[in-house]
Amino acid sequence: MNQAFSYIILGASIFSHLLPLIIGKRQNNALLWIYILTGFCFELVLTSFKRLIQIEGFDYHIIGNIYFITEFILIAFYYYARIFKSKVVFTWLLLSLLALYAVTFYGNTVVSGKGEGLFIVAFMVFSIIGLYRQLKNVTTKKIEQSQFFWVNTGFLLYAAGSLPIFITVDTLLQINQDTLYKLWIFRNVLNIIKNIIFAKALTLKE
């Protein structure tokens, strides 16, 4: 795969955030919309100004880690109202995962792939529990007519597909960066799919 193709996919991945942002503009106070906006801003900054940040002497990886943490907190709070019955369990889980993430990136000069892998597993668990909760609530409305179903689908597909990438990213960065760049194209494709699914979700009422 040539470089031009990977740049096109990268650009499409970043700007695919605009699709759900525009479609869901009327729900711009929803946590999901804010999460997509955050993703768009961070990815745009990380990609477009990567070189600029490095020239200025700023540690680029700190932004990456902040993005992963922000993403996790936003998603966790999105699911808090929907699947968590206990505030204590939620707080404990949130703090534990954040602490574990801190351990994985502390002292490193790279974005924590293992830490993000941990968050990705959490997203998968959240979305599966979300789907299970929807199944438990007996209703005559088809599940595809619910926004929550599409959000769970988006997170589950994205998380399941990117998990193998994130758990190998730390090793690949050190020994085989070429493979990592190729794999990153898959991650970007998954991000595009996720944003299209979120756009579908935001066409539906909460």
Residues that bind another protein (CB under 8 A): 124, 128, 131, 134-135, 138-140, 142-144, 149, 153, 156-157, 159-165, 168, 171-172, 175-176, 179, 182-183, 186
CB of 171 to another protein, least distance (A): 5
The type of residue at 62 is I
**Residue 154 contacts residue 146 (beta carbons within 8 Å):** no
CB of 128 to another protein, least distance (A): 6
Q: Which is nearer to another protein, 14 or 159 (CB)?
A: 159
Q: Which is nearer to another protein, 69 or 120 (CB)?
A: 120
Between CA 158 and CA 203 the distance in angstroms is: 20
CB of 168 to another protein, least distance (A): 6
Structure tokens at 52: 């600029």
Query: DSSP states of 125-171 as a string?
Result: HHHHHHHHHHHHS--SS-GGG-HHHHHHHHHHHHHHHHHHHHHHHHH
CB of 123 to another protein, least distance (A): 11
CB of 178 to another protein, least distance (A): 9
**Residue 71 contacts residue 101 (beta carbons within 8 Å):** no
Q: Which is nearer to another protein, 101 or 123 (CB)?
A: 123
Q: Which is nearer to another protein, 21 or 165 (CB)?
A: 165
Q: Which is nearer to another protein, 73 or 129 (CB)?
A: 129
Give percent helix, percent strand, percent coil of the chain, each to the nearest 5. Answer: 85, 0, 15
Between CA 106 and CA 13 the distance in angstroms is: 29
